[in-house]
Structure 1
Amino acid sequence: MRPFRISKANARRLPALGAAFFIALGLFAPQAQAAPTSTPQAKSPAPAAKSAAPRAIPVPKSPDTPKDDRPLASDPQAKPTAPTAGSTVGAAKPSERTAKQFSAAANACDVSAFTGNTGAALVQQVKSAGLDCINTLYQLTGNDAKAAFNEAQMATVANALRDVSATYPGDNSTSAGQLVVFLRAGYYVQWYNPDVVGAYGTTLQTAIRGALDAFYAAPHSKDATDANGATLSEAVTLIDSAQENARYTGVVKRLLNDYNGTWPASMAGAVANTETVISRGFDLPAFTSALQADPSFATTMASFVTRNSAQLNGGDLVTKIGIQLGNYVANDALRAQGRPLVKDLINRYPLVGNTGPLTMNLLWFTEKKDAGNCSFYGTCDVPAKLVPLVLKTDHTCNANLRIRSQSMTAQQFADTCTSLVNQDAFFHKVVKDNGPVANDNNTSLEVVVFDDYYNYSLYAWEMYKIEVDNGGMYEEGNPATVGNQARFIAHQADWLRPSFQIWNLNHEYTHYLDGRYDMYGDFDAGMTTPTIWWVEGLAEYVSYSYRGVHYDAAVAQAGKGTYTLSTLFDSTYDNSDSTRVYNWGYLAVRYMLQSHPQDMDALLAKYRAGDWAGARTLLKTTIGTSYDADFATWLKACAADNCGTLPTSQAPLCKIADTRQFDKNCRRDGVAATTGNYSYSFLYLPAGVQQLTITTSGGTGNADLYYNGGAWATTGSYKAKSTNSGNGETLTIANPPAGWVYFSLFGQQDFSGVTVTTTYN
């Protein structure tokens, strides 16, 4: 990944790209049968898993990573003072609606009625329109935006809101809601189109202050009812849209003080919207000054959290508002007010569980914005405390490999160990090394697995002091240091559940092996000259080849012929996008290993000795452009799915007693049958399997391979077959059904000693 090998001495870190994966599933076996006269019962299928791989640098996490409602302080923020888009009550936000829906709403909403009216006519049009209609105005641009939302139009509507608020009845019977939403839409459109709409000045400021003053002075604006909350929610957000955050700190305090867990939903929504007023307010000097002058604002926020702590679950309004106290310690003028309150909350609530999002986000502020003061906060030992609190399951595969996780099962541990241990032999077969490079003491790897991307982001930054806006992180450290611990920090691919995957596992394990057996020294040493084509290309090559997964994206790129081989030798993280780094790195490595193995032996000898200049000379001078034409020819063949023969990885022997039953990634040797007879087999597939591969090889005679899904496979009943001469047969079944599936070898001639292997992903 970028970069893939890290020296802890200079704290460089690696964001891991999720191009490789491993699926480990608990399988169920049928009862042993004497003959194929009945069918094992399949388990009820689960929803099919969805696979994908991220394609972004330098944020290489899967695009399928689910968005979690719980906040992360490290999440990228929107434009600091940009008004919030869309009405939050009464209609969907524009960002949540399809273009077709907008088009339909626009057809029912005559924009000219807003752009072609002024004064009382405009006010009447706004008040009579539906909220759904007004929400479409957020999309206005050009002359329509100017005609609807110039300062005179906005001031007219603001004054109308002032007048309506004088007798506000606590519901929308007087159309206060429409007036508020129109004003919000105007601020939003003007923010993104200031040159078109024109500037907003004191005329509008005076009008909006009069409107908000009148609304919040209305007795019924304090009603704790759904009817009032619908309009109040919009009015709270309007405070921020108009950047009047400092003027209405009293309104925010009142809502926080009055709120209790029994309030109806829309009133709770109004309280939740105070987070927008608070968080964006910290970007406004006037807001900071108002908080300096009123220390009770901070204590109100803290009291709001402690009084409503029973609601804390990470995605709740109490958590989100409580986190905003962190902005106090991020602000030089407010830090003294915020420190004791933040300290109390961090030490009051557990670091894990429902309160974890609150405490970990506040901790983030203390470390990132008030660095060097962990003694004051009592948090210096938090990294060490978190490890046993978060990583509750621990498994040692062997003396060189340990896995720590939040919640992996015994079967998942075992399958992961098997995948990694078996990969060792495959890797060494590819690179043909003679053992570790000199002075490499990375004798063991620790694999850390969080339950999902959210937990990885919430905890890994503190536990391991890494960046977490990525799909994982591999830390090589300084391999020359005795006792150095290499570590891959990862997370489960929760979007693929119920299938179990550790995102990036085999790709990153290749980096560990490559660093130990091919690349002398630490990361900085390996980056002396461009080596990315090799280190990332090899990780892709081993990952896909070892798992027997067709690299669709790379084959598709081969057809484009974008790069020459000599150009790929120059790839760096800075001059390459993810496609060049990963897809084309794979293609370059595959071509060189298959077509020029002697050159690769010579190159790796130089890498292993740390002769970076010599390696560069070999690539750019000795080889230079001499292979470019042949590489281009090879790419055309590869695009037609004729990329050459990949190395094979012998799967482990199947362990189930019934010799007819297979499992994931296992083989049976010595399979035999006489002419005209069958060797029947079956295996259980969990839901979501995307590709099943059955291969036969070796032995004597001639066996043909038949597959028949959910019934016994014969020459007269099959869904797929492979009937080559001899015993070299392969069947690849896309999206096979969940449950028991069946295949058989038919004896065209007596056959014996055949090896049969099943793999799936």
Structure 2
Amino acid sequence: MRPSSIAKDAARRLPALGTALLLSLGLFAPAAQAAGTPGSAPAGSPAAPAAPAASTGKAAPRTIPVPKSPDTPEDARPLASDPRAKATAPTAGSSVGAAKSARQFSAAAACDVSAFTGKSGAALVQQVKSSGLDCVNTLFQLAGNDAKGAFNEAQMVTVANALRDTAATYPGNNSTSAGQLVLFLRAGYYVQWNNKDVVGPYGDGLKSAIRGALDAFYAAPHSKDVTDANGDTLAEAVTLIDSAQENARYTGVVKRLLNDYTGSWPAAMTTAVANTETVIERGFDLPEFVAALQADPSFATTAASFVTRNSSLINGGDLVTKIGIQLGNLVANDALRAQGRPILKDLINRYPLVGNTGPLTMNLLWFAEKKDVGNCSLYGTCDVPAKLVPLVLTVDHTCNANLRIRAQDMTAQQLADTCTSLINQDAFFHKVVKDGGPVANDNNTNLEVVAFDDYYNYSLYAWEMYKIEVDNGGMYEEGDPAKAGNQARFIAHEASWLRPQFQIWNLNHEYTHYLDGRYNMYGDFEAGMTTPTIWWVEGLAEYVSYSYRGEHYDAAVAQAAKGTYTLSTLFDSTYDNADSTRVYNWGYLAVRYMLQSHPQDVDALLAKYRAGDWNGARTLLKTTIGTSYDADFATWLKQCGADNCGSLPTNQAPLCTAADTRQFDKNCRRDNVAATTGNYSYSFLTLPAGVKQLTITTTGGTGNADLYYNAGSWATTGSYTAKSTTSGNGETLTITNPPAGYVFFSLYAQQGFGGATVTTTYN
């Protein structure tokens, strides 16, 4: 195996769950949180010596990662602490020339596999050289007897020797079919790696032949031509170095390409240089490559010079960045650390931490911090976490005394909407759990929501700013709630894949965790994990998030129809014994059933959770309740699976606070609105400039009220610009781009009405 050069941190880890969790998306999608996957640093690594003032510093007792969305877009730019693993097989498929992807055989009907598997010696060589690059490229897909027939060692030696002979007169283009020979050899190494038992081993015979072939090719004068014609074959030949694991032997070739390269090189030659990244990165896994670099320090300085000389090309996803990042592997190796330290120190301090050079500096910083632990003073980076917070999080917004948002890029309207969503969720949460205030010794009086612009920026910066894992969709840190001044924090990112719609991924689910920890669960997270509580912790977060947002939980309803688990089994769920479906979908179902069918038991359970009586809570669930509700739960699941799960709590807007009972505001309601037949209940509100949508709704009560709206004066049946006149009191008006200033609406009593609720919202 060739493990990733960027390992994952075992610190602050919760038991691993699969995170390919498909979730329905709504406003501030919850995407239930997953138990921890490994993060960015090697196991046992301590935190960096310096942490930002806004950070909790050392690992917090309660640190819960959440899953990435399956829709998180790929980004071509490298990410610090990315769990990308080096491929265990040689690179598949062609990257240049006519064959730009490893196509299936059906895509190349003219390519006859038997023409390769049924020939050997000169006939095989002629077949390879006469085939098109597209045809040869399909051979990466071979398996079974075809793989053995085409790529056993004797066949590979034959083609390697042919490349050696062809290279002697290589003209700098593919007129002699050197490209097909190189691509065939690359395909052979790839297929043999994945089908060793069938193809058979590769030994010294092939090693000698491939060295002869590559020696001859790189000795050919025209292999140095700076042309696209040469670059097409050269790029494949560079990759072949790694496919054959001859990385150490050809460090001189890599040095030459890096030293000669300029930004004006043609595209195929640039690809050839870019392919040296694979030779370098995977070379660090080979002892002979490390020995070669140890004996020749000029390799490292040549690569560093390549970066500084071509720094004008850096845009975050360029070959300079990607090759430069590989210099970090120097300090990850005991034998090369002395070479690497001055190089990393120079590059980290030479280029800005944000902007186009951010991927380069942050990745190199990761190596310096995680692979050369405890030496931030040597690199001059001890204050980097504190520097990054204001550089990256340029938005600092206070919703109220209990809620603050630090963001990378949010508009005033997005901030206002986020504050409103969270503040209104408080009332909904308390209505569900019926708490009597915070649990004892909980000082988490406020929450800081950190919102990066997208997953890329979250992964690039959050690992250093907050010392967290970033191979996830966000992180909630409760810290130690008993500690005065402790800062609870949810570190999140926008769901960029949903733009232009604005969402913060997992927001309402994670805010429920904050509220649950403060009002229901005594102590820190570790205390609450002494007995199985995950069914409640994750189930409640799903229940509140979906119910509060009025979103239908399709995945949970589909699971209910399957009837997979008994209720008593779900009480035993932990991050260790349950997959994401059981944790989130089934946690939601268990919590919903208990809240609807046995609220007294929930009250009794929460009384024990709030007192930290974990054993008492466990006895209630497993002994007092035990299996007694399993049969009823099974019946309820059948009904729920048919989309009849029962009633959810309503999410009402807060009461309007203006003294004038006719006055409404953004997101507020008035109850018990009434008027006698033929009369009106008049109302108004003042809109700021830029409102895109105003919604007025009426519900409940008796009689029949019709809703009228007017922008310029009191709304009546004879003066209005919009109306809703259904039977009863269920009326809704949505006004697009209403004017700023006073707008008016009224309820006309078609039949005397009373007890109606009127709500206004706008964005």
Q: TM-score range with shorter-chain normalisation?
A: 0.7 to 0.9
Pick closer, same or farther for the CA change 1:443–1:506 going to 2, 3 Å.
same
TM-score scaled by length of structure 1: 0.85
Partner of 1:44: none
User: AA paired with 2:147?
Assistant: A
Pick closer, same or farther for the CA change 1:608–1:730 going to 2, 3 Å.
farther
Q: How does 1:197-216 map to 2 (within 5 A)?
A: 197-216=199-218
Query: Secondary structure of the equivalent of 1:61?
Result: coil
1:448–1:488 CA contact under 8 A, matched in 2: yes
**The one of 66, 78, 88 aligned to 2:73:** 66
**The one of 149, 152, 170 aligned to 1:150:** 152
Partner of 1:189: 191
2:14–2:575 CA contact under 8 A, matched in 1: no
Pick closer, same or farther for the CA change 1:137–1:52 going to 2, 3 Å.
farther
Q: How does 1:463-474 map to 2 (within 5 A)?
A: 463-474=465-476
After TM superposition, give the deviation of residue 671 of structure 1 in Å.
Answer: 8.6
Distance 2:15 2:34 in 1: 14
What do you get for the CA RMSD once the two structures are aligned?
3.6
1:236–1:273 CA contact under 8 A, matched in 2: yes
- Give CA-to-partner distance per residue, 1:326-370, whole Å, 9 cap, x none: 000001111111111011100111111111100100011111111
Query: Secondary structure of the equivalent of 2:397?
Result: strand
After TM superposition, give the deviation of residue 636 of structure 1 in Å.
Answer: 1.3
2:30–2:506 CA contact under 8 A, matched in 1: no
TM-score scaled by length of structure 2: 0.84
Distance 1:116 1:661 in 2: 87
1:676–1:749 CA contact under 8 A, matched in 2: no
Distance 1:188 1:63 in 2: 29
Distance 1:452 1:175 in 2: 46
User: AA paired with 2:526?
Assistant: D
Query: Secondary structure of the equivalent of 1:71?
Result: coil
1:90–1:132 CA contact under 8 A, matched in 2: no
Question: Is residue 65 of structure 2 the alignment partner of residue 77 of structure 1?
Answer: no
**The one of 288, 291, 299 aligned to 1:289:** 291
User: AA paired with 1:646?
Assistant: L
1:20–1:543 CA contact under 8 A, matched in 2: no
User: AA paired with 2:75?
Assistant: D
Distance 2:405 2:275 in 1: 42
Question: Is residue 93 of structure 2 the alignment partner of residue 86 of structure 1?
Answer: yes
**The one of 490, 506, 509 aligned to 1:507:** 509
2:81–2:463 CA contact under 8 A, matched in 1: no
1:533–1:571 CA contact under 8 A, matched in 2: yes
Pick closer, same or farther for the CA change 1:352–1:751 going to 2, 3 Å.
same
After TM superposition, give the deviation of residue 460 of structure 1 in Å.
Answer: 0.6
**The one of 704, 707, 714 aligned to 1:702:** 704
After TM superposition, give the deviation of residue 76 of structure 1 in Å.
Answer: 2.8
**The one of 538, 548, 561 aligned to 1:536:** 538
Aligned residues: 697
1:22–1:506 CA contact under 8 A, matched in 2: no
After TM superposition, give the deviation of residue 135 of structure 1 in Å.
Answer: 1.2
Q: How does 1:585-734 map to 2 (within 5 A)?
A: 585-652=587-654, 670=673, 696-703=698-705, 726-727=728-729
After TM superposition, give the deviation of residue 663 of structure 1 in Å.
Answer: 11
After TM superposition, give the deviation of residue 401 of structure 1 in Å.
Answer: 0.8
Partner of 1:121: 123
1:448–1:489 CA contact under 8 A, matched in 2: yes
1:529–1:612 CA contact under 8 A, matched in 2: yes
User: AA paired with 1:621?
Assistant: T
Query: Secondary structure of the equivalent of 1:519?
Result: coil
Partner of 2:499: 497
Distance 1:224 1:312 in 2: 22
User: AA paired with 2:222?
Assistant: H
- Give CA-to-partner distance per residue, 1:255-284, whole Å, 9 cap, x none: 000000000111110000000000010011
Question: Is residue 182 of structure 2 the alignment partner of residue 175 of structure 1?
Answer: no
After TM superposition, give the deviation of residue 77 of structure 1 in Å.
Answer: 3.5
Partner of 2:448: 446
Distance 1:482 1:267 in 2: 60
Partner of 1:348: 350
Pick closer, same or farther for the CA change 1:614–1:127 going to 2, 3 Å.
same
Distance 1:600 1:356 in 2: 49
1:21–1:503 CA contact under 8 A, matched in 2: no
User: AA paired with 1:87?
Assistant: S
- Give CA-to-partner distance per residue, 1:680-726, whole Å, 9 cap, x none: 99x9xx9x99xx999642343135899xxxxxxx9xxxxxx9967x4
Distance 2:621 2:444 in 1: 28
- Give CA-to-partner distance per residue, 1:138-163, whole Å, 9 cap, x none: 11011100000011111111111111
Pick closer, same or farther for the CA change 1:414–1:202 going to 2, 3 Å.
same
Question: Is residue 240 of structure 2 the alignment partner of residue 238 of structure 1?
Answer: yes
Question: Is residue 361 of structure 2 the alignment partner of residue 359 of structure 1?
Answer: yes
Pick closer, same or farther for the CA change 1:518–1:270 going to 2, 3 Å.
same
User: AA paired with 2:83?
Assistant: P
Distance 2:695 2:92 in 1: 49
User: AA paired with 1:403?
Assistant: I
After TM superposition, give the deviation of residue 204 of structure 1 in Å.
Answer: 1.1
Question: Is residue 381 of structure 2 the alignment partner of residue 379 of structure 1?
Answer: yes
Partner of 1:306: 308
Distance 1:614 1:722 in 2: 55
Distance 1:693 1:179 in 2: 68
Query: Secondary structure of the equivalent of 1:594?
Result: helix
Distance 2:699 2:262 in 1: 70
* Structure 2: gaps spanning 5 or more residues: 1-10, 38-66, 709-716, 718-723, 739-744
User: AA paired with 1:513?
Assistant: L
Distance 1:654 1:156 in 2: 85
Identity level (%): 82
Query: Secondary structure of the equivalent of 1:490?
Result: strand
- Give CA-to-partner distance per residue, 1:397-452, whole Å, 9 cap, x none: 11111110111111111111111111111111111111110011111111111111
Pick closer, same or farther for the CA change 1:674–1:175 going to 2, 3 Å.
farther
Query: Secondary structure of the equivalent of 1:213?
Result: helix
